[in-house]
């Protein structure tokens, strides 16, 4: 996944904008929901936030407060530096966060958790819970005709081909996986759930 996203950085936002290779894909209500999602992100309470796997910073730039944006990909971070100039950028591994315990009020992560296979998921959740009391996860919504778990063939503009692991979530399933949480956003394309350390621990 790391190499694929590093290569995809220059064309990544085409997915949000419905341009480039995504121009011909039928996604009813997509643009309205992307706008709603960005408003939702902008409406999260300000605080010291770590955006894990920030990508191009498409959503990062809407976060308020003191924002640290982390990604493994140098190409993604180059774009994020322009998109989200107020955020402090860090190149690091999301599964071994280079921060002290409880360094943040919130870990925010979008379209990352659903790419993790079980051992990575457990590592990421442990790291997120270690550095912040709250975890907000945005991911792809499960909708009709879509399998919840897929290995998707992907192609980039340079002609390279990749296979990517991706999951789609109902808010309830995502909340349960996070050990108990609150649904903050439930759309046709995106879901967002907030989980707090205390509920995560008691919910297993
Ligand atoms: C689907 S993109 C999501 C980008 C952004 N959060 C968004 O919602 O638009 C996934 C991101 O995860 C990053 N990534 C993948 N594995 C990572 C890891 N182990 N540590 C840090 N970043 C990683 C990729 O470089 C990519 O930017």
CA dihedral 105, 109, 115, 120 (to 10 degrees): -20
Site to substitute for ligand 1 among 55, 92, 93, most atoms within 8 A of C-beta: 55
What was the pLDDT predicted at 201?
45
- pLDDT band at residue 197 under the 50/70/90 scheme: confident
- The b-or-e profile of 45-54 (16+ CB within 10 A means b, else e) is eebebbbbbb
- The b-or-e profile of 163-183 (16+ CB within 10 A means b, else e) is eeebbbbebeebbbbbbbbee
CATH superfamily, with its number, for domain 2-203? Vaccinia Virus protein VP39 (3.40.50.150)
Site to substitute for ligand 1 among 70, 72, 185, most atoms within 8 A of C-beta: 72
Domain boundaries, the chain: 2-203
For residue range 18-50, what is the model confidence (pLDDT) as tens digits? Answer: 999 999 999 999 999 999 999 999 999 999 999
Nearest CA to ligand 1 atom 8: 110
- pLDDT band at residue 1 under the 50/70/90 scheme: confident
Q: How far is the CA of 165 from the centre of ligand 1 (A)?
A: 13
Going 19 to 21 to 25 to 30, the CA torsion angle's sign is: negative
Nearest CA to ligand 1 atom 14: 53
């Amino acid at each position: 996944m790391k190499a694929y996203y590093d290569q995809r950085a220059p064309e990544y936002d085409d997915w949000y904008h419905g341009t480039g290779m995504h121009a011909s894909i039928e996604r009813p209500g997509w643009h309205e929901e992307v706008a709603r999602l960005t408003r939702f992100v902008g409406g999260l309470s300000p605080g010291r936030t770590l955006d894990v796997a920030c990508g191009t910073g498409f959503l990062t730039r809407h976060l308020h407060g003191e924002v640290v944006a982390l990604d493994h990909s140098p190409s993604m971070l180059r774009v994020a530096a322009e998109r989200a100039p107020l955020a402090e950028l860090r190149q690091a591994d999301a599964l071994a966060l280079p921060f002290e315990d409880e360094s943040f009020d919130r870990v925010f992560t979008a379209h990352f958790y659903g790419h993790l296979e079980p051992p990575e998921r457990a590592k990421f959740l442990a790291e997120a819970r270690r550095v912040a009391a709250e975890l907000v996860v945005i991911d792809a919504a499960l909708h009709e005709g879509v399998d919840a778990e897929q290995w998707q063939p992907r192609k980039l503009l340079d002609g390279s081909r990749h296979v990517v692991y991706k999951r789609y979530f109902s808010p309830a399933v995502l909340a349960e996986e996070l050990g108990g949480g609150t649904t903050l956003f439930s759309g046709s394309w995106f879901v967002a759930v907030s989980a707090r350390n205390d509920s995560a621990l008691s919910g297993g």
